Amino acid sequence: ERDIQEKIDFEIRMREGICKLLAVSTQKEQLVQAVKNLMVCNARVLAYRAELQNRKEELASCGAGERSSENGTKDRVACRAKVAIS
């Protein structure tokens, strides 16, 4: 959990820096690159937070023991995705 939290903190600091860059940018290409980087940072933060939440849920379910679903459906597991912007 700690390594994920460190990654989240890093991305938040990056996002703050990108926002400062956006505030002073005057060239169109700089703005486009900054916005792209901001979107990537936001996507990473969301992915890290989801992973952290999944780990917390796994720890909680391990502590509670194996349980089968009441209606007989299988537990769903989210897939891990990568974001690429070109």
Q: What is the pTM of this model?
A: 0.65
Buried b (16+ CB within 10 A) or exposed e, 23-52: eebeeeeeeeebeebbebbeebbebbeebe
Angstrom distance (rounded) from CA 74 to CA 86: 37
pLDDT band at 24 (very low <50, low <70, confident <90, very high): very high
DSSP string, 7-57: HHHHHHHHHHHHHHHHHH--SHHHHHHHHHHHHHHHHHHHHHHHHHHHHHH
pLDDT at 69 over 50: no
Q: Would the pLDDT of 79 be above 90?
A: no
Q: Residue 10 — very low, low, confident or very high, per pLDDT cuts 50/70/90?
A: very high
Which residue has better confidence, 84 or 6?
6
- Yes or no: say if 48 and 7 are a contact pair by the CB < 8 Å rule: yes
Residue type, 43: A
Average pLDDT of 64-69?
52
Confidence (pLDDT) at 12 = 94
